Amino acid sequence: MTKKLSFTTKLAFLLPILSLLFYGCESPKNKDEAVTEKKTNIIFILADDLGYGDLGFLGQQYIETPNIDRLAKEGMFFSDFYSGSTVCAPSRSSFLTGLHTGHTPIRGNSEVQPEGQFPMPDSVMTVGKAMQQAGYVTGAFGKWGLGFIGSTGEPVNQGFEEFFGYNCQRYAHRYYPAYLWHNDQKVDLPGNDWTTTGDYAPDIIQEKTLEFIDQNAEKPFFLFMPIVTPHAELAAPDDELMAKYKKMFPNEQPYVGGKGADYGPDMRIPGYQSQPYPHATFAAMVERIDRYVGEVLDKLEENGLSENTLIIFSSDNGAHQEGGADPEFFDSNGQFRGFKRDLYEGGVRAPMIAWWPNKIKAGTTTDHVAAFWDLLPTFAEVAGQKISSAIDGISFYPTLVGEGEQQEHEYLYWEFHEQGGKQAVRQGNWKAVKLDVFKSEEPVLELYDLSKDPGETNNIANDFPEKAQELESLMSSSHIQNPRFSFYRSEKESSE
Span 182-198, pLDDT tens digits:
999 999 999 999 999 99
Q: Are 102 and 413 in contact (CB under 8 A)?
A: yes
**Cα dihedral 114/116/122/127 (nearest 10):** -170
Longest dimension (CA), the chain: 114
Distance CA 357, CA 360 (A): 6
Q: Are 44 and 225 in contact (CB under 8 A)?
A: yes
Distance CA 84, CA 98 (A): 9
How are beta strands 309-315 and 352-355 bridged, if at all? antiparallel
User: Which one-letter amino acid corresponds to residue 458?
Assistant: N
Annotation: CATH topology of 41-401: Alkaline Phosphatase, subunit A (3.40.720)
Distance CA 85, CA 107 (A): 8
Q: How confident is the model at residue 494 (pLDDT cuts 50, 70, 90)?
A: low
Classify burial at 111, counting beta carbons within 10 Å of its beta carbon; exposed 0-12, middle 13-18, buried 19 or more: middle
Q: Are 397 and 381 in contact (CB under 8 A)?
A: yes
Is residue 365 helix, strand or coil?
strand
Q: The pTM is what?
A: 0.92
- Percent of the chain whose pLDDT exceeds 70: 92
Average pLDDT of every residue of the chain: 92
**Stretch 372-384: mean pLDDT, rounded?**
98
Is residue 287 within a helix (H) or strand (E), and if so which, with residue range? helix 278-302
Q: Name the residue among 308, 305, 302, 333 with its Cα closest to residue 319.
A: 333
How are beta strands 41-47 and 309-315 bridged, if at all? parallel
Q: How confident is the model at residue 145 (pLDDT cuts 50, 70, 90)?
A: very high
* CB atoms near residue 237 (< 10 Å): 16
Rounded to the nearest 5°, which phi and psi values hold at 346? Answer: -65, -20
Q: Length of the chain, please?
A: 496
Please give the pLDDT value at position 226: 98
Task: Delimit the domains of the chain by residue range.
Answer: 41-401, 412-495
Distance CA 341, CA 343 (A): 7
Question: What's CA 81's distance to the chain center, in Å?
Answer: 12
Please give the pLDDT value at position 36: 57
Give the up-direction half-sphere exposure of residue 42: CA atoms within 13 A in the CB hemisphere.
26
- Percent of the chain whose pLDDT exceeds 90: 88
List Cβ neighbours of 26 (8 Å cut-off, separation of 6 or more). Answer: none
Q: How confident is the model at residue 491 (pLDDT cuts 50, 70, 90)?
A: confident
**Stretch 200-216: mean pLDDT, rounded?**
98
Please give the pLDDT value at position 21: 35
CATH 1.10.10.1800 fits 412-495, yes or no: no
| Domains 41-401 and 412-495 belong to one CATH topology | no
Q: Name the residue among 82, 83, 57 with its Cα closest to residue 363.
A: 57
Per 3-state DSSP, what percentage of the chain is helix, strand, and coil (rounded to 5)?
Answer: 30, 15, 50
Q: How confident is the model at residue 35 (pLDDT cuts 50, 70, 90)?
A: very low
Is pLDDT of 350 > 80? yes
Report which listed range, 26-35, 127-136, 431-440, is most confident: 127-136
List Cβ neighbours of 11 (8 Å cut-off, separation of 6 or more). Answer: none
Give the up-direction half-sphere exposure of residue 287: CA atoms within 13 A in the CB hemisphere.
21
Distance CA 127, CA 94 (A): 10
pLDDT tens profile 331-341: 999 999 999 99
Q: Are 253 and 305 in contact (CB under 8 A)?
A: no
Q: How confident is the model at residue 9 (pLDDT cuts 50, 70, 90)?
A: very low
Is residue 34 helix, strand or coil?
helix
Strands in 444-449's sheet, in edge-to-edge order, are 412-416, 422-427, 430-435, 444-449
pLDDT tens profile 285-331: 999 999 999 999 999 999 999 999 999 999 999 999 999 999 999 99
Q: H-type helices in 317-464, by residue range?
A: 327-330, 345-348, 375-383, 397-401
Q: Name the residue among 278, 360, 348, 345 with its Cα closest to residue 317.
A: 348
> Concatenated DSSP letters for 54-95?
SSGGGT-SS---HHHHHHHHHSEEETTEE-S-SSHHHHHHHH
Q: Are 316 and 88 in contact (CB under 8 A)?
A: yes
Please give the pLDDT value at position 248: 97
Distance CA 279, CA 241 (A): 12
Q: How far is CA 90 from CA 110, 120, 234, 321, 396, in A?
A: 10, 10, 23, 19, 22
Q: Name the residue among 373, 487, 371, 491 with its Cα closest to residue 423.
A: 487
List Cβ neighbours of 338 (8 Å cut-off, separation of 6 or more). Answer: 318, 344, 345, 346, 347, 456
9-23, 281-295, 354-368: least confident range: 9-23
